[in-house]
Amino acid sequence: MIRQRKLLLSALGVLLIVLLASFQYSRRIREYRSEHFLMDTLISIKAYGRDQEVLKKSVSEAFAEMRRIAELADGFPQPGTAAYGSSDVCRINAQAGKQPVMVDNDIMAMLLLAKKYHHVSQGAFDVTIGPLMELWGFGGEAPHVPDTHSIQAALARVGSDKLVLNEHERTAFLTKAGMKLDLGAMAKGYAAEKALQILQKHGIEKALIDAGGNVRTLGRNVHDASWKIGIKNPRKSDAIAAVLQLENASAVTSGDYYRYFEAGGKRYNHILDPRSGYPAVRTMSATVVTKDAGLADILSTVFFVLPPEKALETAGKMTGVEIFLVTADGRILHSSSLKGRIEVLPGDSYRYDQGR
């Protein structure tokens, strides 16, 4: 009887150890990843934590939030469809020149940001660029170079000064008929930042959101080191121009290679200078590193459009904003504070002077 009791106790002990071990195993940090096609791109979220269920729930909530913003900001659905009805941007565009439109808080926040950076960038960033984008046909199948006359006509319908926001009543109004909002240069970053806030709300401390190359990191990576984020080589599709080390920050790039066409031996990319009505050509790619992904998205367009030296100078005046540029004449410029956190790789289309 005593021997049996001993046996029983040791059996229970072993059982306890095995269960504890498997429990510990289940408590280790796991990755949960999910991908969805949204906002005309592939969005991937990787979240890390101990509880798979929490990860799953928060990632799907984060996607729901991104989808909501995508629907509000979508400028291209067919009139009459359900997507058209749920898009604030479409409603504002439809009422251009007629009356103010009551909008969602997030659209209001985005438009306020847009106006702010229109001012800061002295017009290099403009969400009312819709008529020009439409004229060039970058949203559709057959982009082409428009004639000067129609560009001048479209330019008359572009200008954030003609976008009137009433924060108190939460309304937005395009004062001139034929004006069109296009949030393409900021919606992905803004949505990524909102998604990240949802993950944080659920207590997640490590995550990476990649909204079609708009990258937002939370915390440090799974090896408890900085996230290694590549910056695409603007002239070689499978190559990397540099590797950035990020912690709890985002990196967003605007490049001339993402959407472009060639005509008469010239390259026309989809990032238009809202002041001239023509594509910005002095930069191949502009990458912005800053904490907020929404801001990074806006600034990447700003610094792509501004002349490189002016971009570097402007970024230098902002706190917590760093940039990396590959200029059209093949130079690499970056904020000096990035030194030590960036490794530039050799490439054929640019050169890098270490001394800078």
Q: In angstroms, what is the minimal distance from the CB of 229 to another protein?
A: 5
**CA-based torsion, 146, 149, 152, 157: positive or negative:** negative
Q: Does 354 bind another protein (CB under 8 A)?
A: no
Among the listed residues 132, 174, 185, 208, the single contact to another protein using CB under 8 A: 208
Regarding 315 and contact with another protein (CB under 8 A), the answer is no
141 binds another protein (CB under 8 A): yes
The sheet with strand 250-255 has its strands ordered as: 30-38, 41-49, 206-211, 214-218, 250-255, 283-290, 322-327, 332-334
Cα angle, residue 245 at apex, residues 239 and 248 outer, rounded to 5°: 125
x/- mask, another protein, residues 238-277, rule CB under 8 A, reads x-x--xx------xxx-x--x-------------------
Q: Which of 138, 71, 136, 82 is nearest to 106 (CA)?
A: 71
Number of residues that bind another protein (CB under 8 A): 49
Q: Is 338 in the site for another protein (CB under 8 A)?
A: no
Nearest-CA neighbor of 29 among 284, 227, 221? 221
CB of 22 to another protein, least distance (A): 5
Is the CB of 173 or the CB of 304 nearer to another protein? 304
The residue among 114, 157, 111 whose CA lies nearest residue 134 is 157
Which one of residues 36, 68, 91, 170 is an interface residue with another protein (CB under 8 A)? 36
Q: Taking a C-beta distance cutoff of 8 angstroms, is the pair 208, 217 a contact?
A: yes
Q: Is 20 in the site for another protein (CB under 8 A)?
A: no
Q: Which segments of 202-265 are extended strands (E)?
A: 206-211, 214-218, 227-232, 240-246, 250-255, 260-263
Please tell me the distance from the alpha carbon of residue 111 to that of residue 159, in angstroms, as a whole number. Answer: 13
Contacting residue, 2, 4, 265, 353, with another protein by CB under 8 A? 4
Q: Which of 226-234, 264-272, 276-284, 309-317 is the region at the interface with another protein (rule: CB under 8 A)?
A: 226-234
Binding site for another protein (CB under 8 A): 1, 3-4, 7-8, 11-15, 18-19, 22-23, 25-26, 34-37, 40-42, 141, 208, 210, 212-215, 217, 221, 227-232, 237-238, 240, 243-244, 251-253, 255, 258, 287
